[in-house]
Amino acid sequence: MQLLHILQLLVLMTLANGTPIVAKKIFGSRFSFPLDAGTIVFDGRPLLGPSKTIRGILISVLLTTASAPLVGLDLTIGAIVAGAAMAGDLFSSFVKRRLNFPPSSQALCLDQVPESLFPMLACRDALSLTIADIALGVGIFFVGALILSRLLFRAHLRDEPY
């Protein structure tokens, strides 16, 4: 079991997923360009929706990459974690739009699993993670994300408690 690596990844995944939320509070609507540029796809729904922004992706990748050495990991691992976490978040948004969920709505599991599973899988070989390590990391992230979201809502950093 790679407990240290799991903890390091949890810190980076939390940072990667939380940075866009904090950036929204800091910058408001400034620099908030939708990643999908308002694209409507075959089903008449947005590709991703307005809450997925270029600003959020960029700031997540930059800060998570820069923070990796602070938790004892290489910059490359930080970039991989951020990119994979954002890919998981975009995947969730794409699926939620197809299921007709409104932007920023809650979809239990769909909101937490891809944004933790994708980075864990992406780092599997580099950090010698087992399936048990990945399952533990995703499970901890799932529970932690639910708790942290409520705390961030109470601190007025999130618009919704999920």
Q: Identify the pLDDT of residue 31.
A: 87
End-to-end CA distance of the chain: 30
**What average pLDDT does this structure show over 14-40?**
92
Q: Identify the pLDDT of residue 157.
A: 75
Report d(CA 147, CA 162) in Å as an integer: 9
- Arithmetic mean of pLDDT over the chain: 93
Q: Cβ(161)–Cβ(150) under 8 Å?
A: yes
Q: Cβ(60)–Cβ(86) under 8 Å?
A: yes
Question: Residue 1 above 80 pLDDT?
Answer: no
Question: Is this structure's pTM higher than 0.85?
Answer: yes
**What average pLDDT does this structure show over 6-25?**
95
Give residue 74's pLDDT band: very low, low, confident or very high (50, 70, 90): very high
Question: Cα separations (Å) of 14 from 18, 32, 85, 125?
Answer: 6, 21, 9, 21
Percent of the chain with pLDDT over 90: 77
In this structure, which amino acid lies at residue 29? S
Query: Which residues make beta-bridge pairs with 53?
Result: 34
**What average pLDDT does this structure show over 119-139?**
98
> Residue 84 is encoded by which pair of tokens?
């994979």
> Residue 68 is encoded by which pair of tokens?
């990796």
